[in-house]
Structure 1
């Protein structure tokens, strides 16, 4: 009797071993390479709310007006490839109804250009590639991957410094759950601006270097747990002018109790976060577990079949004619 390994058993064994090798490869190599900040980003987020702003035409602060903040983020792919980091150019404009749609962002109440450079894996700031200004903190336009239930240092570009955001549980945005972080900024001097003395109650002085002050009554960010994408943002900014050395606000330049992502922006951010999160889950959890489980089963079955072999029917005995010679 002879035993042979069947072709099927060898195929099953080979497939099982391949899947067992593939499972840790997906976890340790493929998924970490997918978990990197994109360089070809091109997104626009819009905040709206009601507030006050200084009308230069009327030379006074007007109230109960619609405030719109538009932020455009575009990745510089060429510089990103050269440096190995994520290089993002950020344009932020603050408008009221009369300056929208903004054909020229210089007509806005406020317009800033920034260049944000981060490590694609850790999200930490990297000081290169003509970064402007010099950033700090752990989060700004996004949080690190695999967001933790702890406080984070978030960069506030208006403050020009970091703000501690505390973890406040979970919150659903458009039916999608994320981690909620909150913080605030106490009134802080952020710079000076030359203005007519009359504007800050210095009537006898033609021009003064007024102090610029900034506060934020409520920063609220909802972040996707896996990708670090911000799916909703709300802030309560206040910018004022004070006479030099004064402890009292003289002019309100901009104030809103709450400006927040529009519904359209929320839906778009949730859509992007959900797609990226599902992809990372597939590479880091679903596919490896499936590959490991299937590979184990196929390997066991293949080994059993190889050991048992394929039984072949015994060869028929040859019958030889014997001739007897009688003498």
Structure 2
């Protein structure tokens, strides 16, 4: 009697080997390539808070008013595909109750348009595709994938430079845990603006080039560790005017101790972070682990079945005819 492997045992063994090969492939090859900044984004985040701003109708700074910042990020899919980068067009408006609802962004207290271009894998700025303005640093609008518990270099567009945000531990937003980073911006001159001299205390002059100064009472960001998506943000901007060469602020254009994501924006960002993080976790951990365990079991079972095989009777030896004389 002899043993031969059955087709079923060979199928089980082959499937097990396939799953054992698939597991590390998903973890080490597929997941890293799934960690790419999306190009088809279309999201809106809203900040609210109270503070002061320069009312052009009153020609003075008014205080204790509601301030709303709305940021809309939309991906330029066509330019992204051509360049291989993530190309996002970002519109940001700063509104008061007088300019809301915003039918026209030109009516806002402040309106800026930006084009942000980044490497889809590292999240670092790429200088192409009509990028505006010129960005630097490690993060802006989002952090890189797999956020580390360390300080990050954050681009502050109002400052026109980078700010170091220090890691401050973990924080839950809407029940979802993220990594918290904070930083401040000391007063810095950011440009000039032509204004009537009387506004900045230069009474004997017509128009003067007043100095624009900016600082930030505090930046707080909470990011999803796996995807880098910001699930909570709070800022404390202060923008002022000084007389040419002046040492003190003459006019407050905008000042708030804290303007933060609304609860609705927090919930939306958390939902997006949970969905994206879950997909990456499935591809990078859950499926590879399941495939590895299943593959090991199937290989073990298949090997046993192949060894045991199916018994077959030995073929009888062919008998030779006997010749008689």
TM bucket normalised to smaller: over 0.9
Structure 2 residues not aligned, in runs of 5+: 317-325
Match of 2:35 in 1: 35
- Note the C-alpha offset of 1:293: 1.2
Distance 1:247 1:304 in 2: 85
- Cα drift, residue 315 of structure 1: 8.3
User: Does 2:135 correspond to 1:140?
Assistant: no
Following TM superposition, where does structure 1 have runs of at least 4 consecutive aligned residues deviating by more than 4 angstroms?
A: 314-317
Tell me the equivalent position of 2:100.
100
Instruction: Provide the rounded CA distance (Å) in 1 between the counterparts of 2:300 and 2:9.
Output: 10
**Pairwise CA distance, 1:286:** 1.0
Q: 1:315, 1:112 → 2: CA distance?
A: 87
The match for 2:323 is none
Distance in 2, Cα, partners of 1:153 & 1:229: 16
For residue 21 of structure 1, report the CA deviation from its aligned partner.
1.0
The residue aligned with 1:272 is 272
1:210 matched residue in structure 2: 210
Shift of 1:33: 1.6
Other structure's SS at 2:131 match: coil
Q: Tell me which residue corresponds to 2:219.
A: 219
Determine the C-alpha separation between the residues in 2 that align with 1:121 and 1:200. Answer: 47
TM-score (norm 1): 0.95
Secondary structure at the residue paired with 1:302?
helix
Tell me how many residue pairs correspond in the alignment: 316
Q: Give ranges in structure 1 of 5+ residues lacking alignment.
A: 318-327
Contact 2:2–2:314 (Cα < 8 Å) also in 1: no
Q: Show the counterpart of 1:115.
A: 115
Residue 62 (structure 1) shift: 0.6
Q: What is the CA deviation profile of residues 147-175 of structure 1, one whole-angstrom value per residue up to 9, with x for unaligned ones?
A: 00000000001000000000000000000
1:309 aligns with 2:309: yes
Residue 75 (structure 2) pairs with residue 63 (structure 1): no
Query: Residue 181 of structure 1 aligns with which residue?
Result: 181
- RMSD in angstroms over aligned alpha carbons? 1.2
What residue is the counterpart of 1:241 in the other structure? 241
> 1:263 aligns to what?
263
| Secondary structure in structure 2 of the residue aligned to 1:49 | strand
Q: Report deviation, 1:29.
A: 2.0
Q: Which residue is equivalent to 1:194?
A: 194
Deviation at 1:311, TM superposition (A): 2.8
For 1:77 and 1:278, locate their aligned partners in 2 and report how far apart those are by CA, in whole Å: 24
What is the rounded CA distance, in whole Å, between the counterparts of 1:109 and 1:158 in structure 2? Answer: 15
> Whole-Å Cα distance in 2 between the matches of residues 251 and 185 of structure 1?
19
Rounded to whole Å, the distance in 2 between the matches of 1:2 and 1:126 is 67
Change (3 A) 1:292 1:316: closer
Deviations 1:258-291 (A, max 9, x none): 0000000000000000110011011111111111
3-state SS of paired residue (1:139) = coil
Aligned to 2:162: 162
Q: Distance between the aligned counterparts of 1:159 and 1:272, measured in 2?
A: 29
Give the TM-score taking structure 2 as reference length.
Answer: 0.96
